[in-house]
Amino acid sequence: NAGVTQTPKFQVLKTGQSMTLQCAQDMNHEYMSWYRQDPGMGLRLIHYSVGAGITDQGEVPNGYNVSRSTTEDFPLRLLSAAPSQTSVYFCASNRGSVPHNSPLHFGNGTRLTVT
Protein backbone atom coordinates (compact mmCIF):
# COMPACT_ATOMS: atom_id res chain seq x y z
CA ASN A 1 0.00 0.00 0.00
CA ALA A 2 2.13 2.87 -1.28
CA GLY A 3 -0.56 5.59 -0.97
CA VAL A 4 0.91 8.96 -1.95
CA THR A 5 4.58 8.92 -2.92
CA GLN A 6 6.64 12.09 -3.14
CA THR A 7 10.17 12.48 -4.41
CA PRO A 8 12.69 13.75 -3.55
CA LYS A 9 12.59 13.93 0.26
CA PHE A 10 15.15 16.71 0.42
CA GLN A 11 16.38 19.21 -2.15
CA VAL A 12 18.69 22.20 -2.13
CA LEU A 13 18.48 24.65 -5.01
CA LYS A 14 20.25 27.83 -5.90
CA THR A 15 18.19 30.90 -6.68
CA GLY A 16 17.02 30.80 -10.27
CA GLN A 17 17.24 27.04 -10.71
CA SER A 18 14.22 25.04 -11.76
CA MET A 19 13.05 21.65 -10.59
CA THR A 20 10.07 19.34 -10.45
CA LEU A 21 8.67 17.75 -7.33
CA GLN A 22 7.11 14.43 -8.16
CA CYS A 23 3.89 13.07 -6.70
CA ALA A 24 2.13 9.81 -7.48
CA GLN A 25 -0.84 8.07 -5.88
CA ASP A 26 -2.09 4.53 -6.38
CA MET A 27 -5.55 4.88 -4.80
CA ASN A 28 -7.33 6.01 -7.98
CA HIS A 29 -8.25 9.29 -6.29
CA GLU A 30 -9.77 11.93 -8.53
CA TYR A 31 -8.51 14.91 -6.53
CA MET A 32 -4.88 15.84 -5.95
CA SER A 33 -3.32 18.93 -4.43
CA TRP A 34 -0.07 20.55 -3.41
CA TYR A 35 0.45 22.40 -0.14
CA ARG A 36 3.38 24.19 1.37
CA GLN A 37 3.93 24.19 5.12
CA ASP A 38 5.71 27.07 6.79
CA PRO A 39 6.12 27.60 10.55
CA GLY A 40 3.10 29.31 12.09
CA MET A 41 1.23 29.44 8.79
CA GLY A 42 -0.34 26.02 8.59
CA LEU A 43 -0.70 24.48 5.16
CA ARG A 44 -1.37 26.73 2.21
CA LEU A 45 -2.79 25.39 -1.01
CA ILE A 46 -0.62 25.97 -4.07
CA HIS A 47 -2.48 24.18 -6.87
CA TYR A 48 -5.04 21.45 -7.06
CA SER A 49 -6.64 19.16 -9.61
CA VAL A 50 -10.07 17.53 -9.72
CA GLY A 51 -9.17 15.15 -12.51
CA ALA A 52 -6.78 14.42 -15.36
CA GLY A 53 -6.40 17.49 -17.53
CA ILE A 54 -7.99 19.83 -14.97
CA THR A 55 -5.97 22.05 -12.65
CA ASP A 56 -6.67 25.23 -10.73
CA GLN A 57 -4.86 27.70 -8.53
CA GLY A 58 -4.92 27.71 -4.76
CA GLU A 59 -3.94 30.46 -2.34
CA VAL A 60 -0.26 30.77 -3.25
CA PRO A 61 0.23 29.69 -6.89
CA ASN A 62 2.84 32.23 -8.01
CA GLY A 63 6.13 30.69 -9.05
CA TYR A 64 4.70 27.20 -9.42
CA ASN A 65 3.23 25.25 -12.32
CA VAL A 66 1.33 21.98 -12.38
CA SER A 67 -0.13 19.59 -14.90
CA ARG A 68 -2.19 16.44 -14.56
CA SER A 69 -1.84 14.19 -17.57
CA THR A 70 -2.84 11.02 -15.69
CA THR A 71 -4.97 10.24 -12.65
CA GLU A 72 -1.92 8.96 -10.78
CA ASP A 73 0.62 11.77 -11.23
CA PHE A 74 0.61 15.42 -10.24
CA PRO A 75 4.08 17.02 -10.53
CA LEU A 76 4.82 20.48 -9.17
CA ARG A 77 7.29 22.62 -11.10
CA LEU A 78 9.32 25.48 -9.72
CA LEU A 79 10.22 27.59 -12.70
CA SER A 80 12.88 29.85 -11.15
CA ALA A 81 13.46 29.09 -7.49
CA ALA A 82 13.51 31.91 -4.95
CA PRO A 83 14.49 31.88 -1.26
CA SER A 84 10.82 32.56 -0.39
CA GLN A 85 10.05 29.10 -1.74
CA THR A 86 12.08 27.45 1.00
CA SER A 87 9.46 25.28 2.65
CA VAL A 88 8.15 21.78 3.19
CA TYR A 89 5.90 20.67 0.36
CA PHE A 90 3.15 18.11 0.74
CA CYS A 91 1.22 16.40 -1.99
CA ALA A 92 -2.21 15.03 -1.10
CA SER A 93 -5.01 13.13 -2.75
CA ASN A 94 -8.60 12.27 -1.95
CA ARG A 95 -11.72 10.82 -3.50
CA GLY A 96 -13.88 13.21 -5.41
CA SER A 97 -17.19 11.45 -4.97
CA VAL A 98 -20.21 12.87 -3.17
CA PRO A 99 -20.51 13.39 -0.24
CA HIS A 100 -17.33 15.40 -0.19
CA ASN A 101 -16.17 14.11 3.14
CA SER A 102 -13.21 12.15 1.87
CA PRO A 103 -10.13 13.14 3.89
CA LEU A 104 -6.79 14.03 2.36
CA HIS A 105 -4.10 11.38 2.15
CA PHE A 106 -0.68 13.00 2.37
CA GLY A 107 2.72 12.09 1.07
CA ASN A 108 5.77 12.24 3.32
CA GLY A 109 6.78 15.68 2.16
CA THR A 110 9.70 17.31 0.37
CA ARG A 111 11.91 19.68 2.32
CA LEU A 112 13.17 22.30 -0.11
CA THR A 113 15.85 24.86 0.64
CA VAL A 114 16.62 27.64 -1.81
CA THR A 115 19.90 29.49 -1.23
Partner 1 sequence: AQSVSQHNHHVILSEAASLELGCNYSYGGTVNLFWYVQYPGQHLQLLLKYFSGDPLVKGIKGFEAEFIKSKFSFNLRKPSVQWSDTAEYFCAVKGDTNAGKSTFGDGTTLTVKP
Q: Quick check: 93 binds partner 1 (CB under 8 A)?
A: no
Q: Which stretch binds partner 1 (CB under 8 A): 16-24, 61-69, 71-79, 102-110?
A: 102-110
Dist. CA 29–CA 32, nearest whole Å: 7
Is 23 in contact with 109 (CB distance < 8 Å)? no
Q: Which is nearer to partner 1, 7 or 15 (CB)?
A: 7
Who's near 45: CB < 8 A, 6+ residues apart? Answer: 33, 34, 35, 58, 59, 60
In 3D space, the residue among 1, 6, 2 whose CA is nearest the CA of residue 32 turns out to be 6
Q: Mask of contacts with partner 1, 56-75, x by CB under 8 A? A: x-x-----------------
Q: Which is nearer to partner 1, 14 or 103 (CB)?
A: 103
Q: Smallest distance from the beta carbon of 82 to partner 1, in angstroms? A: 23
Q: Quick check: 43 binds partner 1 (CB under 8 A)?
A: yes
> Which residues sit at the interface with partner 1, rule CB under 8 A?
31, 33, 35, 40-45, 48-50, 56, 58, 90, 92, 96, 98-101, 103-104, 106-109
